[in-house]
Structure 1
Amino acid sequence: MKIKKGDKVQVITGSDKGTVAEVKKVFPKENKVIVEGVNMKKKHLKPTQEQPEGGIAEFEHPIHVSNVMAYDAKAKKASRIQYKVEKGEKVRVYAKSGKAVK
């Protein structure tokens, strides 16, 4: 999987299409990522001693990695990621601009 934690990504499909945000967590075995502010779900909480009113909590659910694309902030475009070897080191680069990721 070429998307890593902390990468800026753009959602390319679904109800949050076009959203640019940061990846909070990556699940490589499931090919899923959690993106900040995307795919929000609500969970109803029972009242407890710590929180006597209970309430409704809202949090992000994972989305499939095929639904996001790495976002190049300088070019202001979504791009695929390639690997190149520079000075004996494997480096991730944007396919459209050829610049290194981060």
Structure 2
Amino acid sequence: NVFRFEGVADSAATEGRTHLVAGWDIIRPLDGRVLVRGSTETLDGPWRVSDYSELVTGLDAALARLARDISSCLSRFPNDSTPPARCDSVAEEQR
């Protein structure tokens, strides 16, 4: 579930940040059992409010982070498919 996927800035701001908040599940395909739940939150920036190309680049980076978090969680499964307890990531890059 993606809860936030946006550029955020105050109304008078010239710079903003991209914000992604997502929760995700890794399920076993055979029976649909949830093996692990994870979440990702990023707040990155800056991007110039008038530059939509920069905004799209920032949002693309947020999606890449989400993909890395899911991949990292999957890589922590031992060979017997016992899932890790939880996979969470909260990232905030400095301006």
Range into which the TM-score falls when normalised by the shorter chain:
under 0.3
Structure with max Cα Rg: 1
